[in-house]
Each structure stands twice: as structure tokens, then as C-alpha cells.
Amino acid sequence: MLRPQLLILSAVPCLSWTKETALSFTLGPEALMTYPSPSPYQFPDAAFSVQDDGDARLMFWSDGTTYRVRGTGLFPNSPPSPLTPVLGSGTTYDRNGNWLLAAFRVANGDLVAFTHVEDHSFDCPGSYAEWNAGAVVSSSDDGVTWVRDGLAISDPKPCTPTFGGTGYSSIISAPNGAPGFIAYGGCTAFRSTDARGAPGSWQRWKDGSFSSPGVNGSSTCLNGVSANVCCPTVTYNSDLNVFIMISTTWGLNNTLFIATSTDGLDWAAPQMLLQAPTPRAIAYGQLIGVSNSSVSGRVSTLAYAAAPPTGNKPRDFVYRNITFASVTPALRASSPMQRITNNPMATASPPRIAFSWDTVPVFQHLASVNGSLSTPFPPARLAWLASRFPVVVLEHAHAMGAWAYNGPSGPDSTWGPKPFLPPNSGYIEDQFAAAAKAIKALNKSVTVLYYQQITGALPYYRASSAVTTAGFALDANCQPVRANEHQETITLGDILPNYVTYAWDHTAAGVTANFVSAFKNMTQSVPAIDGTFIDTASCYSSTQAQQDASDATVRAMQAAVPDKIVGFHTESTPFSGASAYMDYTFAEPSKKRFRKVTGKPGKDTSGKAAVEWLDANAAAGAISFAHIGDVDGGADQVYSLAVFLAGAYDQAYFAFSSAEKTAPAWVQCDPAAPTWPAYPTWCTGQGYAADYDRPLGAPLGPRSATGGARDEVTRSFASGTRVTVELSGSACTIAWADGATTTCA
């Protein structure tokens, strides 16, 4: 079975949801399941099925072969009945195992169950691989014997051995009298309205509805569920009238997450439920209700696997009570099955950015260098941007002529800022709009974001005019500017020497409203704009109150325009409330970072911290922009890229900026050059490397430790590319599928 690596756990006696999730709970003490003797089954390797059955409990355990247990107690620990497996490997799609995940009693008394199946046999030679699918089985003798009804969810199996396929990890009855079943697997969902969930009746979630066939169809992620999610289990909580998902994340093997949904389709951001200290790990978390494993209640049981074990089994079976204290009315759904049944398009949520594993997923953050406001992007450059980058962030220097060239082969002595003076030369928002429209005209799938400062009131922004309002501004020392002292200024140094600006005081009433209003106006008046990227500067962290107030402004912007992306560069960790995050110093272990105002050490820039940042964003369903700044394109850039590949997930993107703006020639910008390598580098945007066009392919699983020094990990991709990198060191190797090898040396 495709399993999360089990690394395990220390009890967390009580955790609470944040106000944003509107749900609170407490956890009871841990208990360990004691296995009966004889005990052939190996728990747990997946979700398991348990339900009341007359005066007893009926439970099915599985590790490729499924055992039946009937007895008393919360989890019957009687010997299996019969002692031999009731379901095992078959001869076709389940040649290598049948994991029974959930069983249900249907109208005529039969049991219908849904299984994870694996086939490790391929028609062409190659290395070991697993092909996964979801199947339906049924029993007329209370689960003692089973009939294979067929496949519910499957993808065409390739000839060459490949890890892949599809399927479900959790299945529940449709609540509130709706017909059939709902299943969850990875980041998507499946639906059957048939009373027995028969093969041929299943549909996949695709672009806002259950509209693609279960067999040989295609799927898209549910809103709020990250593509990096692993092994989700879902119950319908009948007391709280919400769906609850328990999950882990690929590559983050010591944490369980919990999330809620009012309709089973749109999910709130996941929150940490449990976290185990290294080297203990936890996985396969699920809720068990009073009567079965499909419906939970205000008081339920949380069960999970833990390793290394305390006994002679591969993993411990750990369980504990969980009591949900309350849920606010905002989370309640008058009819949780309405969207499940009617399948309307999802309500407002930020757009997903186009994503592909074919090559390194990269983004671009740039400005035009044409030397004047009136000159648009040259057509060749625009075409390259629109064809290569799924997301483009338009920098604050865009269309300002910030860099000028007089020499045909590179910059000369006139290199330097050429700022403009609004309102005579226009405002930057107008140039953002023009560039976004031009990019979308060539490729409407490109996501276009515009840059803004949460701290600096840059003078060429129309929205900055409000900074002259009494009480809105901070001076160069991050102190409030009095109404008659607006000549005190903050200079922007080598970025815009001769320019002055103020910092926003987000503790002042009215500043947040100004930002929200400007963001609404920009996105509603320019449909080509998909959102904004928000940067920070010195005064952001001058006081904790200023930082908290600035963070609140970012959250207010996202809440006010939920269908647009709000990306944020912040050292506030963890941070919630935006839909994307940028790390400007991704995996830069050789550099010492300090906060500009306080001089205190800044964020940890090690590779280990970088992959943990990606893991946290993946768990939250957020977009990651991983960016290493001011490097020469050599070893530092390669190390950062290797770390990125070790932790990347769907909706994670990479970029770097070059260290020099003059020599050597590799970083020079030729204003006439339409594409890389002469264009773009930092003088226009972020750098580009030949490795970004090499074959990658989807990851075959999460990163895994090699046992080598300095937290060395490795990860393989479908094309044959393999990365090995020291997360606490500096060595790395990327062995590309095309035969090229890139090292950090």
C-alpha cells in the first residue's frame, strides 16, 4: 500500500481550534489496543471499519489481507472469526492485496464494503511499482465470505512499472437520508448515489461537480484540500452537523491535521491535531463514533497508528477520547447534503494556479525595464512569460524605467534608478493593469499578481495618497508622524535614492480599511488581476503591536476578497489567513539573517527549515513561492533548488534572483533579448537556469532519510530524476532523467 513513512508520538493532552475554525475540542489520555492471541492481523495499515451488529461490534482489520472480528467493547479484541482472512489478493486488479476500509449494512441485510486494492504486476520490464485502485465487494453471510463486485475508481494501468493509480482512503454513508456514499482519496472526492455503491455508479469530483467517471476519469482537488494531503479519513459529525477530516501530509510524518466542512466539499484550512516529537510518528488517524466509523458525535474516539511500537507488532494501535465542545452557528449547515446532491459550482475561494510536474515548477517576479512608462513589454518577452510561467508577480518597479541601458552589450555608467513622479507620469496600478491584460491576452491560464507593501507607502501607488491622513504614517524611526511634520521621511536607499516615503501605521484606525478598499477596487475593476503579493519592510516588526496589526490587515484583505489570491512575505510563523506565502530567503544556510530594525537574528534559513515551511503550507492548503535571493546562479542556487525538490508539492513554485547587477556577463540584461539567459535576471525579474527545462515528473512519494550525515534526504520522480540533499549541510546532487547531473559543488 502507498503508505506514509512512520517515523511517532507524544501525547498532547488538550488542543483547541483557533477562532477561525470555530470549533473547540479536548483530548483524553492515550490508551493502547492490546492484541488478542493468536493475532495474525497487523494494525494499522489503513482506515478500518467498525459498526454495531446487534448485541456485538463487527470490525474488519486489514494489511493487504482482511480479517473479521466480532465481539464486545469499543474495539473487539477477540480472535478473528474465522481465523483465516476473509478477503485477500485476487487475480487481476487486486493481485497484491485488498484493504477493506469501510463496510455498510444495506436494505436486504447484505454487507457492502469498499476496498483499496493494489496490483504490482506490469506487462513491461522495470523496477518495483504499485498501481492502486478502489473496489467494491459484497457479502451475504455477515462478512465471512466476500464477492468481488468490481472496480469503483481506477485509472488505466501503464505497461511500464509506475507508482500511481487512484482510489479512496475513506468512505462514508451519505448523511441526512441522501442516497449512496461519499468517498475521499488524496485531495479529491468520489460520489455514488447507488444504494450499494455498485461499480459503474461512481463519479469523480472534477472542476466543481461530480462529473467525471470513476473508472478512467479525471479529478481535481476539493477547495481547501492540498494536493499533498495523505490518507484523509472523513466522518459526518451528526451532533455538530459538519464533516470532519483527519489527515497527514506527505513528508510530514509526525503530525495529524483536522479540518471541517459544512458540505463535505469546501474545507476550512486544516489545523494541527497532534504532533509527535522525533523519532516517533503517527498516521492513519480516524474518528470512531458511538455506533460506527462513518458517523462521529460530540464525544468520539480518535484512533491512529504509532511507531516505533511498544510491543511486537509493526505499529501500535493508539486511541483516546475526543470531545468537541462547540461549533459556532456559522459552521452549521442547514442541509449538508445539498451540494453533494445538486453539485453546484464551488463558492468563493482563491483560484488554483496552473501546475505541472513535467519540469521544475517556477514562478516569475519581475518588472519591465523599458525605460519609460508608456512602453509596454516587448512582444517576444511577453510571449515567453506567458508560455513558460504559470504565475507572474508584477514588481513595484514595473514600467518605472528603474533600470536604463545605453550600451548594446550590457549596462554602462548610466545604470541606475530612473523613477517617475506621479501624478504627472501616472500611477503604478495603471501599469499593472495594462501588463496583466497583455499577459492574459496571450495565455488566460497565467495567474497575475501585483506587488504592494504592507509597510512602505510607496509614493507612486495611487493607494498611498491616504498616507498623508493624520495618524496614518510612521517616520524613519517607525514613530508616529505628527500632522505638521510630514517632511520627515524614509529613504529607499539604493532602490530609489532621491525618493522618500512613509511607513503605514497599521495600529491606526482606518489603515486596514484603506488597504481593503484599494484591493477591492484593483481586483474588481481589472479582471485580469488574480490577486496581490504583499511584502514587508523595516517597520513591520518594529513592535509586536505593529506586526500583529499588519498581519490583521492582510487577513482582512483575503477575507474581503476570498476569490482572489493574497500572497504574503512574512516571518510570522505559523501564519494563517492568506492563500499564498513567499519566502525570500529559501534555503540560504550560508547567510546570516538579521532583522533590519532590531538587529536580532532573523529566520532560520537552513534547508531543514525550508522544507518544514513547505510542509506547513502544504498542510494548510496554501500556495508556496520559494525564492532564494541574491545568488550567482551557482552552488547556492542549486542547493536551494535541491531543497525545493525535496519538499515540493502541487502549488509550490521556485525562483531565484541573481547577486549582481553589473558583471559578470551572465547576469547582465540585454534589453533587446526576448528570452533566457540574457533575459530576465534580477534587473528585470528572477533568474532562469537550464535545469528548469529538464524532465522531472510527479514525485513517487515524500522525501526519505538516507541515513547519511547532516539530515540527508532523497526523493525520486516519475521521469527518473532523483534528488539527494543535506538539509542541515550544503551538499546536494540532482541526477536528471536526461542524463545530466547537477551538484552543489
What pLDDT does residue 418 have?
36
Same domain, residue pair 269 and 394: no
The three-class DSSP label of residue 234 is strand
Is residue 155 included in any domain, yes or no? yes
Report, as ranges of residue numbers, the positions in the chain whose pLDDT lies below 70: 1-23, 35-44, 176-177, 325-349, 367-378, 397-426, 459, 468-470, 482-501, 571-575, 584, 588-603, 630-633, 658-686
**Residue 208 within any structural domain of the chain:** yes
In a domain, 700, yes or no: no
User: What DSSP string describes 528-547?
Assistant: T--EEEEE--GGGGSSHHHH
Which of these three, 667, 684, 701, is where a domain ends? 684
Both 312 and 452 in a single domain? no
Go through 522-538 and write b for each residue having 16 or more CB atoms within 10 A of its CB, e for each that does not: bbeebebbbbbbbbbbb
Domain boundary among 286, 308, 330: 330
Element (H, E) at 732: strand 732-735
- Res 446: pLDDT: 94
Q: Which of 652, 667, 684 is the last residue of a domain?
A: 684
pLDDT of residue 426: 59
The reported pLDDT for the residue numbered 37 is 57
Sign of CA dihedral 512, 513, 519, 523: positive
CA 685 – CA 404 distance, rounded (Å): 14
Domain assignment present for residue 604? The answer is: yes
The pLDDT value given to residue 168: 94
**Domain tally, the chain:** 2
Place of cell 522525501: 703
pLDDT at 498: 40
Residues near 540 by Cβ (< 8 Å), separated by ≥ 6?
A: 454, 455, 546, 547, 550
Domain extent for 374: 364-473+506-684
Convert the pLDDT of each residue in 132-151 to its tens digit: 999 999 999 999 999 999 99
Cell of 715: 526523493
Place of cell 495618497: 465
Distance CA 304, CA 366 (A): 46
Statement to judge: residues 316 and 377 lie in one domain: no
Cα–Cα distance measured from residue 204 to residue 186, given in angstroms and rounded to the nearest whole number: 12
Q: What is the pLDDT of residue 349?
A: 60
Q: Do residue 296 and residue 389 come from a single domain?
A: no
Task: Evaluate whether residue 2 is within a structural domain.
Answer: no
Is the domain of 325 the same as that of 388?
A: no
Provide the CATH number for the domain around residue 613: 3.20.20
238 and 111 share a domain?
Answer: yes
Separation CA 587–CA 609 (nearest Å): 8
Q: What is the DSSP letter of 156?
A: P
Q: Does residue 739 sit within a domain? A: no
Alpha helices in 283-394 (DSSP H): 338-342, 379-388
SS3 222: coil
Q: Are residues 82 and 187 in the same domain?
A: yes
CATH assignment of the domain containing 130: 2.115.10.20
- The residues near 542 (Cβ < 8 Å, ≥ 6 apart) are 474, 478, 597, 598
Verify that 324 and 389 share a domain, yes or no: no
E strand spans, 66-123: 66-71, 98-105, 111-119
pTM for the whole structure: 0.53
Q: Is the dihedral of CA 607, 612, 618, 620 positive or negative?
A: negative
**Domain annotation covers residue 725:** no
In a shared domain, residues 315 and 463: no
Task: Specify whether the CB–CB gap between 579 and 555 falls below 8 A.
Answer: no
Q: What pLDDT is recorded for position 466?
A: 74
Does the residue 16 lie in any domain?
no
375 and 284 assigned to the same domain: no
Judgement on whether residues 434 and 319 belong to the same structural domain of the protein = no
Same domain, 38 and 111: yes
